[in-house]
Structure 1
Amino acid sequence: LPYVIILIAVMIMIMHWPLGADPDWHVEYPDSFCVVEGSTATIPCSFTHPMVKEAITAPPAGLRVERVVWCANLEFCWHPVYNGYDSNSVLTSSRFLYLGDLVGNCTLNITKMLKRDAATYRFRIETNGVGWTGPNGVRVNVTGKGRSGHTHLYLSLLLPPIGRPLVQKWPRPFRDRPRPPPQPSDKWRHRELHLLSGLQWAENLFALESGRGGR
């Protein structure tokens, strides 16, 4: 008889509970996005969860979030998290920084992205009564760095006819590079200088004379 009374009381409470007042389990983040290796990735995220745990044999109990987890390539985030975030075991040296809270913000920050960080990330909520993991996840793709090579600029010079020297002051970093053979003419000769960026600038004096072979 006592169980019947409790069951009736619970059913009455459910019937009189305002429709839509208690949110469902839900997490919201983008389906996928792409970041550059070495940069910082921010995964915007928000979540909701029921505020009341309904039970047949006991009065409804309030739910509160006690743990949040971000995991990579795991369906339920049950296993130890090695590439992600766990509020129960935060590492100060981790590149995964939780910018959210235990109320509704689950934004995650990943610094110095590596190629191995490319994965499908899921968010898990654990309350005092039950846990839930967002089923879809967000796919993070990591692209390679832009080539750390140099910016190339070819500078063409027209030298005066033979017998008339040219003295020109050039700033570094002009460097000689392999180039097609010059095509001399009776009046003008063509030279190409290779501009290489990223080096320390210093002034250097090049004396270019039309009578020299030159480089």
Structure 2
Amino acid sequence: MLREFEKIVDTNSNGIDAAELKAVAARLRERQFIFKESRALGRTYDILVSQQDYFEDLFAAFGDEFFVDNHFGYCGIIPKANRPGLNQLETIFLLILAKMHDMECRKARSENGRSQPSEAILLDEYCLATGREKPKPRDTKSALDRLRKAGVIELGKVNELSEMQEITILPSIMRVVSANYLTTLSAFTDSPASDDDQDEDESETEAEDSQ
């Protein structure tokens, strides 16, 4: 791997130097997915694709799988080692969004692997799947922002009717959920709320009582 690194730098392939090669790897590790159409990350994508063999070996050393999806024009890494996971709400949202994306694709309502279902449906599906009330707006916003940072959705402008940001589901979402995601969704929605959620609700109730 070191030999390949030196070869890329020595041949100055596509004007890549050592610093840029390291920066590209760090950028992908931070974002997990890089899309070709991203203006700010176009060169990063080109370097990752042109040096695919090198990055496959590099990330494999960390226990990750590097892949390139030429069909939808993006690349990324699938972690095999344990990393900080999503909380319960984020996980349920992820699985519901995967379900929504799959349904949109089956109805030929996707473009370049991306779908844009109504963001309000997400909360309706959450209530239907869990039997719980809709999450607080701040919790919904926080969970969606976490998924945005994970590279599986994009968030747009706020819809005045739903008071939520418009959601674009990216093809990368199907890379991070298993094929039996519906079974996983059922398991998560059947489980009780986490202790952290309960503690938060209790603390808010106590704060209201003290006012």
TM-score scaled to structure 1, two decimals? 0.24
* Higher-Rg member (1/2): 1
TM-score scaled to structure 2, two decimals? 0.24
More strand, by proportion: 1
More helix, by proportion: 2
